Amino acid sequence: MIGTIIEGTLRTEDLIPAFCDALYEQLSDFTKRQLTVGEKYRADQTSKILLQVETAAKVEGYYETEQASDDLDWLFSELNEYAFPGTYFGAHEDDGADFGYWSERDPECSICRRRHKSDDRHPCE
């Protein structure tokens, strides 16, 4: 899946539920294929932690805690880990409040950390 998961917000209370839903979807797709024992174990562990995040998110005041920030970082990392080959999870290069899966067609620039079309003259030089 390439495209937006959530856009127009940077609020933790909006991002965490959307990222949880997206990770459940990715795990569902991932576990439908033939997995090694290690992959199965990792997916099971990810599912357990994901359930803990969702449970914690139901507690009043959770989104203002350091734990919520840590959970958001974990979700971001896991979504990228389970991205389909040739894609990455992150903010859209033109809109920092548009999170989703994007194509890895063009390499990340080592100067500005953006993805430039490979046929363009490097705009950062």
Domain count, the chain: 1
Question: Mean pLDDT over residues 9-38, rounded?
Answer: 93
Q: Is residue 70 part of a domain?
A: yes
Domain assignment present for 48: yes
Q: Which of 83, 91, 87 is nearest to 102 (CA)?
A: 87
Residue 108 placed within a domain:
no
Residue 24 lies in a domain: yes
Task: Say if 45 falls within a structural domain.
Answer: yes
pLDDT in tens, 72-117: 999 999 999 998 888 999 998 889 899 999 988 655 666 666 655 5
Please indicate, yes or no, if residue 112 is contained in any of the structural domains.
no
Is 117 inside any structural domain?
no
| 82 token code pair | 């389970």
The CA distance from 118 to 25, in Å, is: 32
- What's the DSSP call for residue 87? E
Domain that residue 55 falls in? 3-103
